[in-house]
Structure 1
Amino acid sequence: MPFAVYALGLAVFAQGTSEFMLSGLVSDIASDLEVSIPAAGLLTSAFAIGMIVGAPLMALFSRSWPRRRALLFFLCLFSAAHVVGALTPDYGVLLATRVVGALANAGFWAVALVTAVSLAGPGARARATSVVVGGVTLACVVGVPAGAALGGHWGWRSAFWAVALVCVPAAVVIAGAIPAGRPEPVPVRAGAELRVLTGRPLLLTLLTSALVQGATFCAFSYLEPLATRVTGLGDAWVPVLLALFGLGSFLGVTATGRYVDARPVVWTAAGLVALTIGWAGFALTAGSPLAAVVLVLVQGALAFGTGTALISWVFRLAADAPTLSGSFATAAFNVGAALGPWFGGLAIDAGLGFRSPLWVSALLMVLALGTAAAPGIRRVAGHGRDGVAGHGRDGVAVL
């Protein structure tokens, strides 16, 4: 695997810390800015909405740029947004900085995914994807708990400052490790790429991915109040649970990168079923500290492992859309990240308690099973020698 792919993972670590760290800071932010906990949770949704809109727009905006220039521009903009967020006393301004930071993050992700897959080659798509997504999981293991610990000692603003500072070495590494030019001398026309990206199998795969991420973020965004108010764990346990979730997600992504290319259908289907059962089981046993600790680890592994497998499916189905496929995969990921916390907040506001987001996650996974089994995503038993899924008579890859 080229070293440049690992450099992209390092940058994603800095950005992933910001995306997920609010799950350990929602109560602190709500108290400081005098808003409700669901309103603080919407900061995660605002970030995700910015990523949804920004992924395709930023990919088109930077389409003619050398990839190193695009990556550095987006990373510096992301860092600047966090400086403003750390300084503002106003919830509305903080909300705006989350959107701006998300637009920059979206542009970075769209370019980074395509760059990683291009550098790794067609035989290592899933592995390259797992390295980039692995930066997010490492953020969950190290960055998010560290952000929660910083917030507990010096306030939530210190976590924002830390993210801005971590972007600096990431930018230095990218400047030295990413080639200055573009691998493709003549990009495919945007209209041709969009036609590829609107095929039925790909749209169903993207919808399945969005539902899986919706389930993940619905539960993860309210993990702190769930642990302290339902499970009965103290505040000191919150960074530990966040680290366990991150460790699980790192293990899931690593395993997926190693094995999914050989058995993509079985691996993805098993992940979808296990996630559905896991979220329902977590909802039933959330009052038990032991069950909560175990399931946080397990669900983290399943959620990010399955999510990575679905992203690799997008690249299989969108091989003829080299510059926009990453943006669509990013957008689908963040549709779920936006809707999940919102749905969880609605359940809490309805008086269903802090356990209710777990039931919402289970319901979203039931819907994901339905879209994965829908006509247009057909299961095949055989695979080619390269481990890529079979093809239908029309030559389009099918799941």
Structure 2
Amino acid sequence: MSRRTASLALLALSIGGFGIGLTEFVIAGLLTEVADDLGVSISVAGHLVGGYALAVVPGALVLTPLLMKRPPKQALLVLLAFFIAGSLLSAWSPNYEIMFAGRVFAALAHGGYFGIGAVLAASLVPRQRQASAVAALFAGLTIANVLGVPAGSLIGQQFGWRTVFWVISVVGVVAFAGLVALVPRTEPEKDQLPVGQQFRALARPQVLASLLTTALVFGGMFGVFTYIEPLLREVSGFSAATVPWLLVLFGAGLFLGNIVGGKAADRNADNAVLILSLLLPVVLLVLGAVAAMPVATGIMLFLLGLVGFATVPGLQARVMRHAHGAATLASATNIAAFNLGNTVGVSIAGAAIAAGFGLRSPTLTGAALTVVGLILIFIARAAALRRVEA
């Protein structure tokens, strides 16, 4: 396959990732408008965020096994159909219950799309560029944070929150057409184990360590990010008007980190994950320490995005490599681990604030979670090296 063909295919995959990332994150900036329009409280509207994250898990663990025997392109088109249907349902929804159903439909596509898409992206390029190809898929997700979420919030404020979901539906249709036109048809993995054995493969020590590390690292990171707005305003002293620009700065870190992490993982995925997992708790602790200094806080916010998301290509490549015979299912399960970890991390950070430990406390709980992830990946890497030497 030519490099140009592979690049166009990765672009099409990334557009789908952009749409899915936008659907997941943009709702947080529209909660007040959604709650008012659907006649529910802010806390109830917040379940549209948590419900999406939880629905990613059955989507990854149920839909992916049903689709992974199909050609990857065909499987991704089915998943995008779920995403488009969910986005349309959300845009049209006359009440909260239908809106929630639309969120669940869209979320069912999330794990499988990134899981199957990561395996497909890796298959389009030479082995030494596979982590960068996975990073290209996730580039859409990072762009959704950098540009899509602020733009979505602006569109929602000017034209209503439903307009945002109509736009997301159009993005889904464009991604669908891009996959049809630009992504080559490839065959499913030839060495796939039977489904039951694939689920057992998830319990392999190296695979399980990667999945748990993913959950812990991103639980720590997003536990901090979820409560970053009150930290920036009440501790750092930034105005409300400045916060969106600081979030763009964080998103720029995500985007750059995705690229850097892909290149580092191409060289050595295990080393990349280990080094980045060591740096992340340091960044979190420094962020908490300098939170009262506006300039330093802005720098650390950028580094949080950069270091945090730089772990993604390495973790995704690592779980795929160790789950031979079950790479697609493991890849999708790793995406579910991201979302489960986020839910746990946010809950722990929120509990720390509610217990009276202050708005800096999520940086401590986040650092603690990432340190546990670091210990796990260090033990797993040492065990793998001992087996090689033996």
Q: TM-score, normalised by structure 2?
A: 0.88
Change (3 A) 1:172 1:15: same
User: How many angstroms does 1:10 deviate by?
Assistant: 1.6
1:71 maps to which of 56, 73, 76? 76
Q: Which amino acid aligns with 1:378?
A: A
Mean Cα displacement is larger for which, 296-305 or 52-61? 52-61
Q: Is the 8 A contact 1:144 1:243 kept in 2?
A: no
Alignment of 1:1-399 (within 5 A): 1=3, 2=6, 3-26=8-31, 28-29=33-34, 33-36=39-42, 40-88=45-93, 90-184=95-189, 187-374=192-379, 376-378=380-382, 392-393=387-388
> Quick one: which amino acid aligns to residue 163 of structure 1?
I
Determine the C-alpha separation between the residues in 2 that align with 1:51 and 1:68: 20
Quote the Cα distance in structure 2 between the aligned partners of 1:297 and 1:184.
38
Compute the displacement of 1:180 (Å).
Answer: 3.6
- 2:14 counterpart SS class: helix
2:108 corresponds to which letter in structure 1?
L
Question: Distance in 1 between the 2:162 and 2:227 partners?
Answer: 19
CA distance in 2, matches of 1:220, 1:23: 12
User: How far off is 1:325 after superposition?
Assistant: 2.5
Offset, 1:82: 2.1
Distance 1:349 1:28 in 2: 26
Q: Using the TM superposition, name which of 241-250 and 347-356 deviates more.
A: 347-356
Q: Secondary structure of 2:325's partner?
A: coil
- Partners of 1:246 and 1:300 within 8 A in 2: yes
Distance in 1, Cα, partners of 2:219 & 2:12? 28
Q: Where in structure 2 are there 5+ consecutive unaligned residues?
A: none
Q: Distance in 1 between matches of 2:234 and 2:31?
A: 14
Deviation, 1:65, is: 2.6
SS class of match (2:179): helix
Structure 2 CA distance for partners of 1:145 and 1:198, relative to 1, 3 Å:
same
Cα distance in 2 between the residues matched to 1:18 and 1:229: 29
CA distance in 1, matches of 2:201, 2:35: 43
Comparing 258-267 and 205-214, the one that deviates more: 258-267
Q: Judging changes above 3 Å, is the alpha-carbon distance between structure 1 residues 392 and 6 closer, same or farther for their aligned structure 2 residues? A: farther
| C-alpha contact 1:7 1:170 (8 A) present in aligned 2 | yes
1:226 deviation in Å?
Answer: 3.5
| Cα distance in structure 1, aligned partners of 2:230 and 2:36 | 13
Shift, 1:243, TM fit: 1.6
Q: After superposition, what is the alpha-carbon deviation per residue over 1:135-161, rounded to whole angstroms, capped at 9, x for unaligned? A: 111111111221222234344443333
Query: Are 1:213 and 1:303, in contact at CA under 8 Å, matched by a contact in 2?
Result: yes
**Counterpart of 2:11 in structure 1: which amino acid?**
Y
C-alpha RMSD of matched pairs (Å): 2.7
Give the Cα–Cα distance (whole angstroms) in 2 for the partners of residues 175 and 55 of structure 1: 22
Query: After superposition, what is the alpha-carbon deviation per residue over 1:79-126, rounded to whole angstroms, capped at 9, x for unaligned?
Result: 221232234364454333322211122222222112112222433221
Task: From the superposition, tell whether residues 267 and 253 of structure 1 become closer, same or farther in structure 2 (CA, over 3 Å).
Answer: same
- Deviation larger for 147-156 or 205-214: 147-156
- Deviation string for 1:25-78 (max 9, x for gaps)? 4455556654345x5554333222111221121111212333222212211221
Q: Relative to structure 1, is the Cα distance of residues 94 and 344 closer, same or farther in structure 2, using a 3 angstrom cutoff?
A: farther
Describe the shift of the 1:184–1:204 C-alpha distance in structure 2 as closer, same or farther (beyond 3 A): closer
Q: What is the CA–CA distance in structure 1 between the aligned matches of 2:111 and 2:155, rounded to whole Å? A: 26
Distance 2:229 2:194 in 1: 46
State the 1:378 CA deviation.
Answer: 1.2
Evaluate the alpha carbon distance shift between residue 234 and residue 25 of structure 1 in structure 2; reply closer, same or farther with a 3 A threshold.
Answer: farther
Q: How far does the alpha carbon of each residue in 1:228-283 deviate from its partner, in whole angstroms, 9 at most, with x for none?
A: 44433333323312221121111111112122222434322221122101112222
SS of the aligned residue for 2:387 comes to coil
Distance across 2 between alignment mates of 1:286 and 1:68: 46
Q: Partners of 2:99 and 2:362 in 1: how far apart?
A: 24
Alignment gaps of 5+ in structure 1: 381-389
What is the number of residues matched between the two proteins?
384
The more displaced of 59-68 and 39-48 is 39-48
CA contact (8 A) 1:41 1:222 kept: no
SS of match in other structure, 1:120: coil
* Whole-angstrom CA distance in 2 between matches of 1:153 and 1:235: 18
